[in-house]
Every structure is written in C-alpha cells, then in structure tokens.
C-alpha cells in the first residue's frame, strides 16, 4: 500500500476518534496476539504459508481440491441417552430428517469401564449418553441402521477396547464385515489426562491400547478412522486457541510415534487419522485456527517422511462450543451456535455437529435438536457458501491471524517436544496446569465484564425464559440394563467366556498379541464391557489423578477491585468471629470428570480467602460426606454437569446426617435444570448456582449464609 495513502487514512481515522490514537483500538487476545483495527496488504508480506490452491501442501485452503463445491461437509449430530432402544429411535428419526452420519454419546459408566450394575455408578446410568454394557446393547443401538452404508463416530477413550469390540461383533452379527465399516473412534486418551478425565488406565498402558487399535484397524478395517485427536475438550476446559492447537497436534505426533513403534509403515495408517476441534465465539480467530491446524500437521508429518500426500492431510470434525452456551436468556444460544457453525465451515471443516440451545440446562429435546440440525441444513442449502472454494482466502486479517497462530502454536509444540513428548508432559501435569490457568483468567474476565456475554453479564433479560427440558429416569434405565446383564450372564457359555477373558489378561501381561483382537473374541462370547475392562485393569491398574489448585490468578485479576476487597473483609470478619477461615470442600460426585467449573471455583475461592479442599474425582456420596467430616468443613460445594444430582445429592445429605454433619452447608452449581431447584432445596441444599453465575456473587452469598447461621 502507498505510504502516503496510509498516513492520510490514519489522519482521517484519528480525527474521527477525536482525542484518541488509532493504536488505542488495538486488542490483546488471550493468546497474547495483538489485534489491530486495520489490516492491509502489508500484513501479508513475508507470510510463508500463503497457498494459491486448496488440496495442495500446505493445505491451508483445505484438504480437498474442490472442498464444499464438490461435496458439502458431513452433517452430524452427537447424541445418545437413556437406553439403546431410545437412542436408536432418535438416530433413525434424525437420519430421515437429513442427518448424514451418526455420532454416539455414551454414558459415563460406559466411558469409565463399568457395567450398569456396578455400585459406583448409581446416579450415572443413561445420563449424558447411552448405556452400553454388551454386544446385545450395541446391536439394539444400530438396529435397522445399515452399518455398511452409514458412517458412525464414537466418542470413546477410556473403555475404547470393549466398545470397539462390541461394535465390530454387533456389525458382523448383523451381516456387515468389519472391513466395510466406516466412521471414527476417538481413541484419544492423552487429552483425558489433561481435561476430560474419563480415563481408566495409566498413561503408558493407555498408549499401548491406542497403538493396538491403530494396528488392528489398519489391517482389518481400512475404511475406519482409528483415532480422532481432540482439541474440543481442551477448548471447553478453558484452553486458549494456541494451547488447543499445540496440545492437540502434539498429541497427534505422540500417537504417530506409538503406531510406528508397532512396526507399522507411516502410510499404512496416517491417512486414517482425524482431528476434532471446538469452535468458539472469536469468529475470525476460529477460522484461522483450522487453517493453522492444517499447516502445522503438514509440517509435523514431514518429519516422518510419508510417501503418500494423503498421510499429511489434516481432516477435521468440528463441534460448536458447549461452554459458550448459557442458561440465562437461552435463545441467544441459537445465534451463538449459528455463528460458530459458520466459522467452522469457513475454516474448512469436513464434518460438523451443532449444539442444541438448551444444553446449558440439560439434555437436548427433539425440538432443540431439530433447530440445531436445521442450522446446518440452512447453511448448506440457503447461504451459498458451498458454491465457492475457501471464500476467505487472501483476507489480510485472516491470513495474518493464521500466521500468528501457526507460529505461536509451533513454539509450544517444540517446547513439548523438548520435554520428551506429550506423554511425558501429561505425566508431569504441565498441559493441565496451563489450561486451568487460562480457564481461571477467562472466568475472571467474564466476572469483571471485560468479556461480554449478552444476557449474562450485560443486557440481562427482565424475566426468565421457561424452556422444556428432557429428563431421563435414571433408576428405570439402570434397572433395564441390570435385567439385560443378568440375562446375558445366565444364557452365555460362561466357561468359554471366562477363558477368553483370561486370554485377554495374558496378552496385556505379556505384551504379545493385540489387545483389541483378543477383546473381540471375548465380546463374541458375551463378555460384558465391565468384564473386559476389568481384565485389562487387572494388569494395568486403574489410574488416580492428584488434584492440585492454582493460586493467585483470580486475585491478580481483581487487584484493588472494590467488590473483591469487600468480600475479603467479610471473610476476615468470619475468621475473627469463628477463630478460623471459612472452609469449603469442592467435589464432583459419580463418574462425571468434567472438572473445569470445580477447578475455577476452587482457585477463585482460595484467592478470595476461603480455605479450600478439592475432593478426588469419581467419589461416591458416602466418600464425599466422610471427607467433609474429616476436613471439618463449613460448606460442601457440588459441581454437577452430568445430571446425576437428583440421585446422588440426597444420598450425600443423608450420609452427612448419619455422620452428625447436619450443620455443614450443602450447595450445588453447574448444569442443573431450574425444574430441579425446588427438589434440591426441599432436601436441604442451601443455594444453587447455574451456568454464568458470577463467582464473586456466589462467594458473597456463601459467606452471608455462614454469617447468618
């Protein structure tokens, strides 16, 4: 651009801004990227990623030459709830309405390798996903769905071996050879140790499972994607976009190395690797993120010298952000999801799931799911964005963002590599702590109003919208599953079944043979998901994480803030009155491992002045009650996301009474439908904090409750 013209523009702009400099409009992102108000051709100079054509290295413009002009992205909806029968009916109805692929959500007991009759999963069966205990459940799940024609994506990492085994056997008993199965298994265990926590076995043993699945599928299931490397859950846990990119792709590199350690040729499996990203509300940054991901993966794969270009392609499924959904003014979520979906498609995703607007309150209803699905159909059929290949290519802003994200993520990838790779970094807890710090900073910015969320911290509605919520009868579902389990165990050849389970255990112990191959044999003879998982656990053990709390992040963000200092004074007054600071135990009950909310609360309350204990994940109500008594706490704060509160919270309160702990204040927070508030308050819950609650307000309410006692 002509320098004189640029100076003239700057003069006019600053005149419009009156007393401000144009530089005052600059914005610093959470990724420490400085965003200017104007981008010109000068911002494209020296960018080495610019690519004239899609489908060619470095793939910034997309992995396929014709992109959506040749074929639109695959429309998926991630769903699963209650029993296999109900989920199957839901899938078939959606397929008739235009959905192109199935994405299965499993319940938490299934994720954690427990059958539905296990005593630790009382409140979780059929909640937040479908319960799958055996081949028989899997056959019902896909009844009248042609698995040789339908692509199936399964979000499973912890109990990935029995789920894959049951899927393969169910398909073959329906007449579909495993070699004809298409779809994706997530099989991304490293991110579980960072954020989502639905792991079972320790990291090293889990990596062996990942490698065995890649080995088995590359030979037996050539059309099936052996792994979906996920940044989605990192994003939802609070990672900034540089962290999401770097940690996800570093995970991918680690999986490639694990597969190579099995003696596989890079070109035998790399073409079946896929990725999974969340799409949030920073529109252009999200577009640039997907472009940067393709550039970075191509760069990483060059280190392994693949012969086929397909081995260097990053193919990606995207899902709109769940954490951006809000309970307050919930119909705003339809707008949020639409913009996020548009960012995903302009970034070049290969398939897409759009969240339903009511998922901040509970499971999606048929009504909300239809809106989410139609959002994509409208984009494909009405917007015209499928007519042109990569319409944002060459944008001064988008290309510059792509470059900055690429280079910042590459620096972090190299840092991980210098630590010995992602398995070592995860074992040391480094990615987890950085993501938690990022999440705390983001929450502080929201609570201060620096990051606006319409309807939550600005432009609040005058009245609450009443939204229909889907309820699952957890007890009924569990009883159904137990009856089916009992029937399977009574009618199978138990001697052969136990022999196959022993063979599986021996393969895990000796290191010879393929774990998935052996599990398929066990599943054929009706070994249950819990039995297969237990056989592996007998050798590998069950992993237990150490809970750590950050400090200082929230306090630094609120330095000299009047509201923050006021609550500090209340805490000090309580300490003078009671002789000690208010003490809170922050817990998760059942098998829900989503601990972002719990960790943010623990960090913030510690900075405010509370003594904070964080309970271990996956506690029973009885264990949590005993912890509260042992730690002599004033408050138990229950973080709930997976809808088990109606079953587990009453048990906790009864357990406290049995331990003479009635004086302990019980409060709940998280994704709790308002229809459940009265029930919880009647059984003794003193306060309920839904999504979007300001943490300072919550702390103020709790200290007031204690002072009034």
The set of catalytic residues is 78, 232-233, 588, 592, 594
For residue 133, give the DSSP letter.
-
Residue 39: C-alpha distances to residues 1, 36, 206 (Å):
11, 7, 46
Reading phi first (left if > 0) and then psi (alpha if -120 to 50, else beta), residue 506 is in: alpha
The rounded distance, in Å, linking the Cα atoms of 167 and 135 is: 7
31-53 b/e with 16+ CB inside 10 Å = b? bebebeeebeeebeeeeebebee
Strand order in the sheet with 273-279: 224-225, 183-185, 152-154, 101-104, 74-79, 351-353, 316-320, 273-279, 227-230
Strand partners, 585: 613, 636
Query: How far is it, in rounded angstroms, from Cα 230 to Cα 234?
Result: 8
Three-class SS state of 210: helix
Q: What is the dihedral of CA 236, 241, 245, 247, to 10 degrees?
A: -60
Instruction: Using CB atoms within 10 Å of the CB of residue 253, give its burial: 0 to 12 exposed, 13 to 18 middle, 19+ buried.
Output: buried
Answer whether 445's CB lies under 8 Å from 205's CB.
no
- Residues 456-461: contacts with CB within 8 Å, 24+ apart? 456/326, 456/328, 456/329, 456/692, 457/692, 457/694, 460/328, 460/329, 461/328, 461/329
Tokens 């205990």, residue located? 133
- Residue 54's nearest CA partner among 396, 348, 480, 387 is 348
Query: In the 3-class helix/strand/coil scheme, how is 344-375 assigned residue by residue?
Result: HHHHCCCEEECCCCCCCCCECCHHHHHHHHHH
CA distance 436 to 97: 40
Helical H runs in 261-321?
A: 266-269, 283-301
Assigned token pair, 253:
């590199």
Distance CA 401, CA 245 (A): 13
C-alpha–C-alpha distance, residues 638 and 650, integer Å: 12
Determine the 3-state secondary structure of 497 from DSSP.
helix
- Owner of token pair 């199965």: 181
608 and 575 Cβ atoms separated by less than 8 Å: no
DSSP string covering 654-689? HHHHHTT-TTSEEEEEES--GGGHHHHHHTT--EEE
Residues whose CB falls within 8 Å of the CB of residue 335, separated by 6 or more in sequence, listed in order: none
338: Cα separation from own chain's centroid: 19
């Amino acid at each position: 651009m002509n320098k004189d013209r640029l100076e003239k523009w700057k003069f006019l702009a600053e005149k419009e801004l009156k007393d401000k400099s144009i530089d005052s409009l600059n914005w610093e992102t959470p990724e420490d990227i400085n965003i200017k108000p104007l981008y010109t051709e000068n911002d494209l100079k020296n960018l080495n990623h610019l690519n004239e054509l899609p489908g060619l290295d470095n793939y910034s413009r997309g992995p396929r030459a014709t992109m959506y002009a040749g074929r639109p992205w695959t429309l998926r909806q991630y769903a699963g709830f209650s029993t296999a029968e109900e989920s199957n009916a839901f899938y078939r109805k959606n397929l008739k309405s235009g959905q192109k692929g199935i994405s299965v959500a499993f319940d938490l007991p299934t994720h954690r390798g427990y059958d539905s009759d296990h005593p630790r999963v009382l409140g979780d069966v059929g909640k937040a996903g479908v319960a799958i205990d055996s081949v028989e459940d899997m056959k019902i799940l896909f009844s009248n769905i042609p698995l040789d024609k339908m692509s199936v994506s399964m979000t499973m990492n912890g109990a990935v071996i029995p789920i894959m085994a049951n899927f393969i056997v169910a398909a073959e008993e329906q007449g579909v050879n495993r070699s004809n199965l298409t779809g994706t298994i997530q099989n991304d265990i490293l991110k579980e140790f960072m954020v989502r926590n639905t792991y079972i076995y320790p990291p090293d043993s889990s990596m062996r499972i990942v490698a065995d699945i890649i080995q088995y599928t590359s030979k037996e299931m050539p059309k099936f994607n052996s792994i979906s490397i996920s940044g989605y859950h990192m994003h939802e846990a609070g990672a900034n976009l540089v962290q999401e990119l770097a940690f996800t792709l570093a995970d991918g590199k680690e999986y490639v190395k694990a597969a190579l350690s099995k003696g596989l040729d890079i070109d035998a499996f790399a073409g079946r690797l896929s990725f999974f990203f969340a799409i949030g509300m920073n529109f252009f940054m999200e577009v640039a993120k997907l472009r940067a991901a393709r550039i970075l993966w191509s760069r990483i794969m060059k280190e392994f010298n693949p012969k086929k270009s397909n081995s260097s392609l990053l193919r990606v499924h995207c899902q709109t952000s769940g954490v951006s959904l809000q309970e307050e003014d919930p119909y705003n979520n339809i707008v949020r999801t639409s913009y996020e979906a548009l960012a995903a498609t302009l970034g070049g995703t290969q398939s897409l799931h759009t969240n339903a607007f009511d998922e901040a309150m509970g499971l999606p209803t048929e009504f909300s799911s239809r809106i989410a699905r139609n959002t994509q159909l409208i984009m494909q059929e009405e917007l015209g964005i499928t007519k042109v290949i990569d319409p944002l290519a060459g944008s001064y802003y988008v290309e510059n963002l792509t470059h900055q994200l690429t280079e910042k993520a590459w620096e972090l990838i190299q840092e991980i590599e210098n630590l010995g790779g992602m398995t070592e970094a995860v074992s040391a807890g480094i990615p987890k702590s950085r993501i938690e710090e990022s999440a705390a900073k983001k929450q502080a910015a929201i609570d201060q109003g620096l990051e606006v969320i319409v309807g939550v911290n600005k432009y609040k509605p005058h009245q609450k919208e009443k939204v229909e919520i889907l309820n699952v009868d957890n007890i009924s579902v569990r009883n159904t599953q137990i009856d089916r389990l009992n029937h399977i165990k009574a009618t199978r050849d138990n001697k052969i079944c136990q022999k196959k389970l022993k063979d599986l255990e021996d393969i895990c112990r000796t290191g010879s043979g393929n774990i998935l191959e052996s599990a398929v044999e066990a599943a054929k003879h009706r070994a249950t998901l819990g039995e297969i998982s237990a056989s592996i656990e007998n050798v590998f053990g069950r992993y237990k994480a150490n809970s750590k709390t950050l400090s200082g992040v929230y306090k630094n963000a609120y330095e000299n803030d009047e509201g923050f200092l006021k609550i500090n004074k209340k805490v000090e007054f309580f300490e003078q009155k009671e002789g000690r600071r208010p003490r809170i135990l922050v817990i998760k009950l059942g098998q829900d491992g989503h601990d972002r909310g719990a960790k943010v609360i623990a960090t913030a309350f510690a900075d405010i002045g509370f003594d904070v204990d964080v309970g271990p994940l996956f506690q029973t109500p009885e264990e949590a009650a005993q912890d509260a008594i042992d730690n002599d706490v004033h408050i138990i704060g229950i973080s709930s996301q997976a809808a088990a509160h109606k079953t587990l919270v009453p048990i906790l309160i009864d357990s406290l009474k049995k331990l003479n702990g009635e004086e302990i204040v019980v409060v709940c927070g998280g994704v709790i439908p308002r229809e459940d508030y009265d029930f919880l308050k009647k059984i003794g819950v003193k306060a309920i904090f839904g999504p979007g609650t300001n943490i300072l307000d919550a702390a103020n309410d709790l200290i007031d409750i204690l002072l009034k006692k």
